[in-house]
């Protein structure tokens, strides 16, 4: 989406007035890499709610409504059970809460693998329901025909190679990829194929660093690293991971804060004040007039 829009602030705490700003576009994201160089690295974080989007938006080039919401929001064991309705609803909330970043929504497992036609139907449904600008799908060479099919029909696609969480049952876990020569060559080849098929960017996840660098040098579109390399054209993390909402996170996550501790301590203080009747005070209650 490339429109400038103002949120209605009259009825909800969820809609503070943003500074007017024209939303970034997919071509501008793709255009950040010139002759193999991205002078201004791309910043991407996950977002699942309107309020979260509002807090992240001004600082990010892209907001990813990741199927990681299955684990982060719904407590599911993996991303595999995530549904189209989950993705559409959360993506719509993120679009409503943002006005600057390009919003990309993950295609959930089972929504695109069977055929390019199925992928188009799913992508069209997600974009119509949410107003997001692009979809992301996992897989390399096997998905190239689908990527081409979608992009030729006006649906921007972000690719995803390396560690692909939707394929965790095939991969046997979440370990780093690209340690063997054959697997390394396959990852680079997959990225090239997606680039040639029309992907505007490619996420490179959980690969040994030399492979991430090789992929970044091999393709014309930007790479977005996660557990990859600082030499990728941009970076993405799950926001709750980097904020310290969870004790256990992948080793590639840097915890910039410990929000979980802050929340727990705040709730502990609230509970104590309720129990000793020091809350609410006169400031938080309505007194008779006169």
Q: What 3-state class would DSSP assign to 26?
A: helix
pLDDT score recorded for residue 36 = 96
**Is 57 annotated for ligand binding?**
no
Q: Higher model confidence: residue 180 or residue 95? A: 95
d(CA 18, CA 9): 10
Q: Higher model confidence: residue 164 or residue 153? A: 153
Q: Which of 38-42, 75-79, 103-107, 264-268 has the lowest average pLDDT? A: 75-79
The answer to whether residues 226 and 252 touch, using CB atoms and an 8 Å cutoff, is yes
Q: Is residue 260 part of a domain?
A: no
Report the Cα–Cα distance between both ends of the chain, in Å, rounded: 54
3-state secondary structure 171-191: HCCCCCECCCHHHHHHHHHHH
**Is 61 annotated for ligand binding?**
no
Number of structural domains in the chain: 1
d(CA 66, CA 71): 10
Q: Is residue 185 part of a domain?
A: yes
Mean pLDDT in residue range 14-37 = 83
Q: Which two tokens stand for residue 64?
A: 């990813």
Query: Whole domain around residue 158: which residue ranges?
Result: 26-242
Kindly state the percentage of the chain with pLDDT values over 90. Answer: 82
d(CA 35, CA 13): 45
Burial label, 272 (beta-carbon count in 10 A; 0-12, 13-18, 19+) = exposed
Mean pLDDT across the chain: 91
Instruction: Check pLDDT > 60 for residue 56.
Output: yes
Q: Is residue 21 part of a domain?
A: no
pLDDT score recorded for residue 6 = 45
Instruction: Check pLDDT > 70 for residue 103.
Output: yes
Q: Is residue 167 part of a domain?
A: yes
Helix axes 181-197, 144-151, angle to 10 degrees: 20
d(CA 50, CA 46): 12
Element spanning 126, H or E: helix 116-130
Kindly state the percentage of the chain with pLDDT values over 70. Answer: 88
Q: Is residue 19 part of a domain?
A: no
Q: Which two tokens stand for residue 20?
A: 């007017």
Q: Is residue 283 part of a domain?
A: no
| 128-157: pLDDT as tens digits | 999 999 999 999 999 999 999 999 999 999
For the whole model, what pTM was predicted? 0.90
The answer to whether residues 79 and 119 touch, using CB atoms and an 8 Å cutoff, is no
The answer to whether residues 88 and 121 touch, using CB atoms and an 8 Å cutoff, is no
CATH number at residue 83: 3.20.20.60
Task: Give 3's pLDDT tier (boundaries 50, 70, 90).
Answer: very low
- The question of whether 205 is a catalytic residue gets the answer yes
Q: Is residue 288 part of a domain?
A: no
The answer to whether residues 146 and 119 touch, using CB atoms and an 8 Å cutoff, is yes
DSSP codes, 233-289: SEEEE-HHHHTT--S---TT------HHHHHHHHHHHHHHHHHTT--S-GGGSPPPP
Mean pLDDT in residue range 36-59 = 97
Count CA atoms within 13 Å of residue 168 on its CB side.
14
The answer to whether residues 249 and 235 touch, using CB atoms and an 8 Å cutoff, is no
Q: Is residue 118 part of a domain?
A: yes
**Is 67 annotated for ligand binding?**
yes
The neighbour count for residue 118, using CB atoms within 10 Å, is 14
pLDDT score recorded for residue 1 = 40
Catalytic residue among 113, 121, 145, 205: 205
């Amino acid at each position: 989406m490339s429109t400038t829009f103002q949120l209605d602030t009259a009825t909800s705490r969820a809609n503070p007035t943003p500074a007017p700003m024209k939303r970034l576009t997919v071509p501008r994201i793709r255009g950040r890499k010139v002759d193999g160089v991205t002078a201004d690295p791309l910043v991407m974080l996950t977002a699942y709610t309107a309020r979260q989007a509002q807090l992240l938006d001004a600082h990010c080039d892209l907001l990813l409504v990741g199927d990681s919401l299955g684990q982060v929001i719904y407590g599911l064991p993996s991303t595999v059970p995530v549904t189209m309705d989950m993705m559409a609803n959360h993506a719509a909330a993120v679009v409503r809460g943002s006005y600057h970043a390009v919003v990309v929504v993950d295609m959930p497992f089972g929504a695109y693998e069977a055929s390019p036609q199925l992928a188009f139907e799913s992508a069209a449904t997600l974009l119509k329901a949410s107003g997001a600008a692009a979809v992301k799908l996992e897989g390399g060479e096997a998905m190239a025909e689908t990527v081409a099919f979608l992009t030729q029909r006006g649906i921007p696609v972000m690719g995803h190679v390396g560690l692909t969480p939707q394929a965790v049952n095939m991969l046997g876990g979440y370990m780093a990829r690209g340690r063997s020569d054959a697997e390394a060559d396959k990852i680079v080849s997959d990225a090239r194929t997606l680039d040639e098929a029309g992907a505007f960017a490619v996420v490179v996840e959980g690969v040994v660093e030399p492979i991430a660098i090789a992929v970044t040098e091999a393709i014309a579109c930007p790479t977005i690293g996660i557990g990859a390399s600082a030499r990728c054209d941009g970076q993405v993390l799950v926001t709750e991971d980097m904020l310290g909402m969870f004790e256990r996170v992948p080793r590639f996550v840097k915890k910039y804060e410990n929000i979980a501790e802050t929340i727990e301590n705040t709730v502990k203080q609230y509970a104590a004040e309720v129990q000793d009747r020091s809350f609410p005070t006169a400031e938080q209650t309505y007194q008779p007039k006169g």
